Structure 1
Amino acid sequence: MEQRIAIIGAGPSGLSAARALQKAGIAFDGFETSQGVGGLWDIDNPRSTMYESAHLISSRTTTEFAEFPMDTKADYPSHRTLIRYFRDYADHFGLTEHFRFDTRVTALEQDPDGGWTLRASGPDGDIEQRYDGVVLANGTLAEPNVPVFRGEFAGELMHTSAYKRATQLTGKRVLIIGAGNSGCDIAVDAVHHAASVDMSVRRGYYFVPRYLFGKPSDTLNQGKPLPAPLKQFIDKRVLQAFTGDPVRFGFPKPDYKIYESHPIVNTLILNHLGQGDLGIRADIDRFDGNTVHFRDGSSGEYDMILLATGYKLDYPFVDKSHLNWTGMSPSLYLNVFTPDFNGLYVMGMIEASGIGWQGRYEQAELIAEYVAALEEHPERAAAFRRHVAEDAWPDLTGGYKYLGLERMSYYVNKDAYRRAVRHATEELRAEPETDADAGAAHGGRFVSWRRGRRDLEVTVRLNPQTKTKTKARA
């Protein structure tokens, strides 16, 4: 029987999955809670955390899908350009018609035969349908991470996920807790509307200009990546030559090396600090009415607190045990496959500087290749599963020692990750070589193939009486 796959989410990752499955000739249905494609980038999507001033923080050419260039000359397009891009992409390849919009998936339950029953609620009522596999592509930046603080704040307390436009800040004394990319973007908005703006930070940051030497900074050194220690040594000094030392503006000195956490692609924040438009405060100690006490003993009065405290992974429609959830996030092979290959495939659970949507599409290609192999080349799929079960998983860090934070638990180095994903895809595509004579000598079929540059030959023998397999390496 023909396999049918469900895709949950129609953002960049969901569209990547749809396109890859389409190209592989695999039937699929998509489910999206919003009224159209675009996911995060659709500011009208109820689950979107987009805001009016948002632009890409990676440049257009390093972010776009390779087979569908953006129709803009802007190096860092706005969310308005990007939602149009995704709609055009979906329409151009005939993906839109495969999705059910305004439809929320409520549950995934595994069937005795290994398939999945998907339950959802949409405009036409409840849906219940069986699928051979499910791609989870509902995004990583939708469920706010709201920390607990001592005391109570009497003013307005809001996570940045609810921030849409700068007029929400007009005339208010604003404290932003956290200084990630969104927090810094909103701080730049705030200085033009708020009565005052402070940022509370607990650690230092590295700031990357959008342009270096007249070009988008992430387009430099796109050839062979430098070893991590050398890149850290060079880039730290280049960045300081362009931006200065953020410590002089009040930021703590970073207690980690550059690229061991996501850098801030926003130097306007440093300009405003230099102009005295906002201030840096220490980490939070406690709230007391409109007064916020900081850990360095200082305090301040505020009308609004914005929590730029990031997001949590959230797959609310499926039990965590099905995703091999260990610690702060699921433990998945290449951040995609569960170790037991139960038919759930996770798309987009990667954070990496510069991986772009093409990097996510390569994830989708790998999923499509595996699903196709299940039906057309089961011996390749079986070998892939054995490889995952028996061999060491690839190092996706690229030599960087990432901070042990929840948001960094699924962080990867783009070069190491894309290399590993491409290698796995090539492995699944490899043509098996069948030696009928050798197979007959062993009472079964003899299949061998090679994995990449390692020249590691894997041999599988199938005994027709016992249906057992043995493996040898040469």
Structure 2
Amino acid sequence: MENETKILVLIIGAGPAGLATSACLNRSNIPNVVVEREDCSASLWKRRTYNRLNLHLAKQLCQLPHMPFPPNTPTFVSKVGFISYLDKYATKFKISPRYNRNVKSACLNGDRWIVEVENSASASIEIYSAKYLVVATGENGEGVIPKIPGLVESFEGEYLHSSEYKNGEKFAGKDALVVGCGNSGMEIAYDLSNWNAKVSIVVRSPVHVLTRGIVRIGMWLLKFFPVKLVDRWCLLLAQLRFGSISRYGLVRPKMGPFMHKIVTGRSPTIDVGCVGEIKSGKVQVVPSIKRIEGKRVTFVDGNTKIVDSIVFATGYKSSVSKWLQVDDGDLFNENGMPKREFPDHWKGKNGLYSAGFGRQGLAGISRDALLIARDIVSLVCPRKA
């Protein structure tokens, strides 16, 4: 094929998953190319996260393969600190992503993956032919804003996805509604409250709220005890820390926090101060939105509220299904997620792999990268494996 570049391994995505996979391959001298649609690595962290973000898990659970955080790094790494770590990681392992490369299609042709990439910097099309294809675009490809009657047609205020939120300065004194009670939603609600916005938060389903310390203790205990027993202890600690929070609209799921994570993939929410704001009345919990007219939001319980702004902390979805012919590697479903659950999610057929799709956070990303590199090494250089 004309203008086709033949390579051994193509990695799509230069976030933590792509960087970790490339680093592991580079350590084994396996040639690989990383393509990234943005003009920088780790664009989610650099461009689509709010200012006050810190990693919610201890640094030991967030480091990438073969490069621990320095000993003087705080236990819970800041956004700026983690971005610096990722940049140093790429430098140490000599990773040079090709930026401004937007993948248009990827399909199997014989025993090779043919990937069409648009180079947005030069307005040209590049064709890569790879023996092995690693999809490292992750679960957070695109922000999701739910379809709510009246939102697009009539809402007179401002609405945005949490990926666009930086801080609450421009919301000071305004009525702000946060949709979603996961880590982003609760932390953004807390940040808005600190900027003196009048804050409400939509809690649509039961949620476990723990502290960083309780999660850290729980993850250590899981090394020695069954998950149901660890859940029981963690819930007791949460009860001692927060008291009864159901009266404030925060109802816990029937399953414990770690079992709930295993079954549903949803992590517990780490409180950074929002529960205290809810208890004091500075942040009000409201149910799901039924419809929006002008600035009036009607909730499913019939109550209404006038709001100036809405921040949707409603998660992300994979963008893989837009460009990958899903049947070729028997790995991804029509929603762009692996067909098989963790821990069997990372390898498909015909040299297709996924990194960062196991719903296991940064620790899962490291595991994926190590497994993928080990597998490719075993196929390319059996003696090394």
TM-score past 0.5 threshold: yes
Question: What residue is the counterpart of 2:60 in the other structure?
Answer: 61
Letter in 2 for 1:121: E
Deviation at 1:248, TM superposition (A): 3.0
Aligned partner of residue 335 in structure 1, secondary structure: coil
* Match among 95, 98, 115 for residue 100 of structure 1: 98
Please say if 1:276 is aligned against 2:281. yes
Deviation at 1:192, TM superposition (A): 2.3
Question: What residue is the counterpart of 1:356 in the other structure?
Answer: 362
Structure 2 residue runs without a partner (length 5+): 1-5, 261-265
Contact 1:38 1:83 in 2 (8 A): yes
Question: What residue is the counterpart of 1:345 in the other structure?
Answer: 353
Give, in whole Å, the separation in 2 of the partners of 1:119 and 1:79.
33
Contact 1:155 1:302 in 2 (8 A): yes
Give, in whole Å, the separation in 2 of the partners of 1:120 and 1:327.
21
Question: What residue is the counterpart of 2:13 in the other structure?
Answer: 9
TM-score between both structures, scaled by the size of structure 1: 0.71
CA distances 1:330-357 after superposition (whole Å, capped 9, x unpaired): 314711112xx122211000113xx534
Say how many residue pairs are matched: 363
Aligned partner of residue 179 in structure 1, secondary structure: coil
Aligned partner of residue 226 in structure 1, secondary structure: coil
Matches within 5 A, 1:75-224: 75-96=75-96, 99-111=97-109, 113-122=110-119, 123-124=121-122, 125-152=124-151, 153-212=155-214, 217-218=216-217, 221=220, 224=223
CA distances 1:194-216 after superposition (whole Å, capped 9, x unpaired): 5310011122221111235xxx8
Deviation at 1:319, TM superposition (A): 2.4
Structure 2 vs 1, CA of residues 348 and 291 (structure 1 numbering), >3 Å: closer, same or farther? Answer: same
Q: Over aligned residue pairs, what C-alpha RMSD do you find?
A: 2.4
Contact 2:14 2:136 in 1 (8 A): yes
TM-score between both structures, scaled by the size of structure 2: 0.87
Deviation at 1:222, TM superposition (A): 5.5
Give, in whole Å, the separation in 2 of the partners of 1:223 and 1:257.
13
Larger radius of gyration: 1
Deviation at 1:367, TM superposition (A): 1.4
Matches within 5 A, 1:311-330: 311-315=316-320, 316-322=322-328, 323-326=330-333, 329-330=337-338
Matches within 5 A, 1:394-473: 429=385
CA distances 1:249-303 after superposition (whole Å, capped 9, x unpaired): 2323534432303101114011111222110011212212211111112111111
Structure 1 residue runs without a partner (length 5+): 44-48, 379-427, 430-474
Contact 1:32 1:102 in 2 (8 A): yes
CA distances 1:169-207 after superposition (whole Å, capped 9, x unpaired): 233211111111000110011012253100111222211
Give, in whole Å, the separation in 2 of the partners of 1:363 and 1:252.
34
Structure 2 vs 1, CA of residues 220 and 9 (structure 1 numbering), >3 Å: closer, same or farther? Answer: closer
CA distances 1:100-138 after superposition (whole Å, capped 9, x unpaired): 122222221221x22011221223432112111111111
- Report % sequence identity: 25
Please say if 1:303 is aligned against 2:311. no
Question: What residue is the counterpart of 2:3 in the other structure?
Answer: none
Give, in whole Å, the separation in 2 of the partners of 1:242 and 1:191.
21
Structure 2 vs 1, CA of residues 3 and 150 (structure 1 numbering), >3 Å: closer, same or farther? Answer: closer
Deviation at 1:28, TM superposition (A): 0.6
Question: What residue is the counterpart of 1:381 in the other structure?
Answer: none
Structure 2 vs 1, CA of residues 332 and 208 (structure 1 numbering), >3 Å: closer, same or farther? Answer: same
Contact 1:58 1:218 in 2 (8 A): no
Contact 2:326 2:333 in 1 (8 A): no
Aligned partner of residue 32 in structure 2, secondary structure: strand
Contact 2:291 2:298 in 1 (8 A): yes
Give, in whole Å, the separation in 1 of the partners of 2:126 and 2:304.
53
Contact 1:9 1:39 in 2 (8 A): no
Deviation at 1:223, TM superposition (A): 6.7
